[in-house]
Amino acid sequence: MLVTSRPLDEYCSSFGLSRAGLRALPGPLLDCPGGAAGLSAEARVLGCRVVAADPLYAAPPAVLADLARAGRDAMAVQMRNTPQRYPDARHHRYDKYLRSWDRARELFTADRAAHPHRYVAAELPRLPFADGTFALTLSSYLLFAYPDRFAPDAQLSALLELVRVTDPAGEVRVHPLHDGNGRRCPHLDGLRAALGRHGVTSEITVRPAGGLNSRVLRLRAARRPQGADGPFGACT
Ligand SMILES: C[S@@+](CC[C@H](N)C(=O)[O-])C[C@H]1O[C@@H](n2cnc3c(N)ncnc32)[C@H](O)[C@@H]1O
């Protein structure tokens, strides 16, 4: 599994979010897994309260920095060798794209040093947060990207845990819904039915002209407070 360092702009584009939407969040944001992403550092500048969770935060910062550099180098090789796997417009200039990862990694390293308590060592399917802590929970490049690590029952447990720590008036967003070879999750309908049986509503939103990368799974606890519209409405 690569340790990656996507910047805020890539999160916004992948999850259908905007800086204004993030600024208007009524509560904290969870990024799980946080990896070496720039999201926490960059969203904090917008005024968001952000917590990142990842098992690797138990490791010394220098170890994580090495893994993140290796993740970036591995991505460079993948993009050169299999460009067909990266059809999104933002990938077309891959040197520029990877420089955005380098910047994000530097921001992550500085922010983690300045706010270590905002980077929590934790591993799905169990997170050390109280029910309903977060207004928005994002999960990027984990549960469906690495199906060899997450069998369907492990995906279900992890998704339920992400919903548990999210305010019923907020939501969980998960991206991507395909693996590293571009294969869509074959049992997503069954997973959504199982989530429904646990009182979780789900929808898949599709970004126009976004290709394979355009689908986002959005989850909410079904029983929401009366009159609550959620923190974003259209979330743009
Ligand atoms: C591909 S990176 C994604 C990082 C970040 N979300 C991004 O998009 O740049 C995957 C991360 O998942 C973390 N991870 C692996 N197993 C996990 C688990 N069970 N719970 C939470 N994070 C996990 C890894 O340590 C790694 O940092």
Write out pLDDT tens, residues 168-188: 999 999 999 988 888 888 999
Instruction: Tell me what pLDDT residue 232 has.
Output: 43
- Mean pLDDT score of the chain: 89
Instruction: Tell me what pLDDT residue 224 has.
Output: 53
Pocket-forming residues, ligand 1, beta carbon under 6 Å: 1-6, 32-33, 35, 37, 54-56, 123-124, 140-142
Instruction: Tell me what pLDDT residue 68 has.
Output: 92
Q: Which of 8, 14, 54, 120, when mutated, tests ligand 1's pocket best, judged by the most ligand atoms within 8 Å of its CB?
A: 54
Residue pLDDT, tens place only, 81-112: 877 777 665 666 778 888 889 999 999 999 99
Per-residue pLDDT band at 75 (split at 50, 70, 90): confident
Which atom of ligand 1 lies nearest, measured to the CA of 149? 16
What integer is the mean pLDDT of 50-73? 94
Give the least confident one: 21-35, 169-183, 204-218: 204-218
- 8 touches 38 (CB < 8 A): yes
Q: Which of 9, 101, 141, 142, when mutated, tests ligand 1's pocket best, judged by the most ligand atoms within 8 Å of its CB?
A: 142
Which atom of ligand 1 lies nearest, measured to the CA of 35? 27
Nearest CA to ligand 1 atom 12: 33
What integer is the mean pLDDT of 193-217? 87
As given in the structure block, the two tokens for residue 78 are 């993948």
Instruction: Tell me what pLDDT residue 234 has.
Output: 38
What integer is the mean pLDDT of 57-69? 93
Instruction: Tell me what pLDDT residue 233 has.
Output: 41
Per-residue pLDDT band at 124 (split at 50, 70, 90): very high
What integer is the mean pLDDT of 12-36? 95
Rounded to the nearest angstrom, the distance between the alpha carbon of 125 and the centre of ligand 1 is 12
Rounded to the nearest angstrom, the distance between the alpha carbon of 2 and the centre of ligand 1 is 8
Rounded to the nearest angstrom, the distance between the alpha carbon of 1 and the centre of ligand 1 is 8
What integer is the mean pLDDT of 63-83? 88
What integer is the mean pLDDT of 132-139? 97
**Amino acid letter, 112:** R
If one looks up domain 8-221 in CATH, what number appears?
3.40.50.150
Rounded to the nearest angstrom, the distance between the alpha carbon of 233 and the centre of ligand 1 is 28
Instruction: Tell me what pLDDT residue 45 has.
Output: 93
Rounded to the nearest angstrom, the distance between the alpha carbon of 226 and the centre of ligand 1 is 35
b/e code 151-189 from CB counts within 10 Å (16+ = b):
eeeebbebbbbbbbbbbbbbbbbbbbbbebeeeebeebe
- 119 touches 112 (CB < 8 A): yes
Which atom of ligand 1 lies nearest, measured to the CA of 67? 27
Instruction: Tell me what pLDDT residue 159 has.
Output: 98
Residue 163 scores a pLDDT above 90: yes
Q: CA–CA separation, 97 vs 83, rounded Å? A: 13
Instruction: Tell me what pLDDT residue 230 has.
Output: 45
Which atom of ligand 1 lies nearest, measured to the CA of 54? 22
Per-residue pLDDT band at 227 (split at 50, 70, 90): very low
- 185 touches 144 (CB < 8 A): yes
